[in-house]
Amino acid sequence: MQRIEDRTAFVTGAASGIGLAITEALVAAGARVAMVDWHGDDLERESARLGSATLTQRLDVTDRAGWAVAKERVEAEFGPVEILVNNAGVAPTTGSLADMTPESFDRMIDIKLGGTFNGIHTFAADMRERGEGHVVNTASMAGLMAIPGLGAYTASKFGVVGLSEVLWAEMKRHGVGVSVLCPGLVRTNLATNHPDRPADAEPVAMDAGIDPSIVGRQVVDAIRADELYVITHGETRPMVAERVDRLLAAFDRAPHQDGEHLP
């Protein structure tokens, strides 16, 4: 999708962090952006700053009925959604999988993986029917390699990567692009954005991460270039390569149907 100007985009998790940076980059490229989040005050403030190219919509991405309401309102005001950015998420609950509560696990999967599916369910068929559009799903480097202590988060992010790869394979012949964003550490407030976090907890510093504006520009470039994978931290390649090498080694040990390596 080389032309972003005059397109309508729908960005979840748009009140701050990566979602806000993607919104800013899309607005700079000439798009109209529905800024979608469950943090109403931040959402309204940032939309007012960005101006008439944006509108705001409160949404819990786990609420499927809410998605239908949001779609109806946004498309009535801005026209058909041509760019969908499934970015909403929450910070991981840390600790061993063996000690994680089912409620924490389910909540993570529902928001990140279920929320991403809900966006696809709401908008992707219309894009296919029109023969154009682009879907961006935010995963993580945790969707490309296992990170001990982040079990549910890693599972949800691996799920988003797989979901995106399937959607890409299904949609490419229909003129609809798909990108999966796999960021490393980015300066956001994600670490404070968790339903189990006490309201009076101290802010968590994320100063070590890269500026989210870099990620926003990468996403817009990926939409234009129709790139499937968007990687923000090239230095993580050896860790992903190590996982791939382990997978390929397992194939080398596996028996073949022709009996060549059968014991």
Q: How far is CA 217 from the centre of its chain?
A: 15
Tell me, what's the pLDDT at 63?
98
For 163, the token pair is 């979901």
pLDDT band per the 50, 70, 90 thresholds, residue 246 = very high
Tell me, what's the pLDDT at 197?
44
Tell me, what's the pLDDT at 258?
74
Q: 159 phi and psi, to 5 degrees?
A: -60, -40
What sign for the dihedral angle of Cα 18, 13, 228, 185?
A: positive
Tell me, what's the pLDDT at 93?
85
pLDDT digits 0-9 by tens, 166-220: 999 999 999 999 999 999 999 986 544 444 443 443 444 445 799 999 999 999 9
Q: What is the largest CA-CA distance in the chain?
A: 68
pLDDT digits 0-9 by tens, 40-82: 899 999 999 999 999 999 999 999 999 999 999 999 999 999 9
AA letter at 224:
R
Tell me, what's the pLDDT at 71?
98
Sheet with 8-12, edge to edge strand ranges: 54-58, 32-37, 8-12, 83-86, 133-138, 176-182, 229-231
Which H/E stretch holds residue 9?
A: strand 8-12
What sign for the dihedral angle of Cα 11, 17, 18, 20?
A: positive
Active site residue 229: no
What DSSP designation does 255 have? -
What sign for the dihedral angle of Cα 122, 229, 234, 251?
A: positive
Tell me, what's the pLDDT at 257?
77
Domains of the chain in sequence order: 8-236 (3.40.50.720)
| Predicted TM-score (pTM) above 0.75 | yes
pLDDT digits 0-9 by tens, 108-121: 999 999 999 999 99
Contacts of 13 (CB under 8 A, 6+ apart): 19, 36, 37, 87, 88, 89, 138
pLDDT at 133 over 70: yes
Catalytic residue among 153, 180, 182, 186: 153
pLDDT digits 0-9 by tens, 82-108: 999 999 999 888 999 999 999 999 999
pLDDT band per the 50, 70, 90 thresholds, residue 262 = low
Total length of the chain = 263
Tell me, what's the pLDDT at 171?
98
Cβ atoms 56, 73 nearer than 8 A: no
AA letter at 105:
F
